[in-house]
Amino acid sequence: VGKAELVIFTNNNISGSIPIVLANAINLQQLQLDSNQISGLIPPELGKLTNPEVFFAWDNELEGSIPSSFENC
């Protein structure tokens, strides 16, 4: 995951929580998790991402705050 810039898991029937390991992909610019069955909190560790541009997470069961580093997505 370390050098990934784009992760797309749209509409894949994924369940469970967002893996914290995604925070290790500091170059990640696009994270698309929409239309799944993901639940729980958005990991605060994702706030370590330095240049997020796209964050799609609608149509899931997420709760809590979106990291402030995502405010321009």
Give the Cα separation of 23 and 37 in Å (integer): 20
What is the total count of domains within the chain? 1
Tokens read off for 66: 């979106």
> What's the pLDDT band for 2 if we cut at 50, 70, 90?
low
Give the Cα separation of 22 and 37 in Å (integer): 18
Residue 71 lies in a domain: no
Residue 73 lies in a domain: no
Residue 38 lies in a domain: yes
Give the Cα separation of 43 and 31 in Å (integer): 13
Give the Cα separation of 2 and 11 in Å (integer): 24
Instruction: Report pLDDT digits (tens) over 17-55.
Output: 999 999 999 899 999 999 999 999 999 888 888 889 999
Pairing relation of β-strands 61-63 and 37-41?
parallel
Range of the domain at 39: 6-66
Judged by DSSP in three states, 63 sits in strand
